[in-house]
Amino acid sequence: MLNSLQLKTFIPAKDYPLSQAFYTALGFTPVWQADEMSYFSNGEHCAFLLQNFYVKEQAENFVMHLMVDDVQAWWAHVQAENIGERFGVRTIAPEDQPWGIREFIVFDPSGVLWKIGQEI
């Protein structure tokens, strides 16, 4: 029987130190950091690797979908941390989607799009 334990993605960073600060402010914990890669997590099963590597076309076509248990709390955190202005990124307030998810959008400093939502 094939059984998966965890899936991680490698997220590109145009400005590596800025992206490290962004993801920490967004609510992820830097588990370890090195010159070329950092490991971030939030909870037991949510993690990714931030890489000191950037290709514009790849970064701007990269989408992350994070499901959370309280999208309003995450949105309030984004607002309280002033993520948009502080990091010069675009954010879009939560909206109910026809596929049964309430989600908001935030772009990271490299152009990676994050959809953060919960089932409704």
- At the fourth CATH level, the homologous superfamily of domain 10-119 is 2,3-Dihydroxybiphenyl 1,2-Dioxygenase, domain 1 (3.10.180.10)
Question: Which H, E and C letters describe 18-39, residue by residue?
Answer: HHHHHHHHHCCEEEEECCCEEE
Average pLDDT over residues 98-107: 97
Dihedral class, residue 16 (left if φ above 0, else alpha if ψ from -120 to 50, else beta): alpha
Boundaries of every domain in the chain? 10-119
End-to-end CA distance of the chain: 33
Per-residue pLDDT at 76: 98
pLDDT band of residue 44 (cuts 50, 70, 90) is confident
In percent, how much of the chain has pLDDT > 90? 92
Q: How far is CA 2 from the centre of its chain?
A: 28
Whether the pLDDT of residue 84 is over 90: the answer is yes
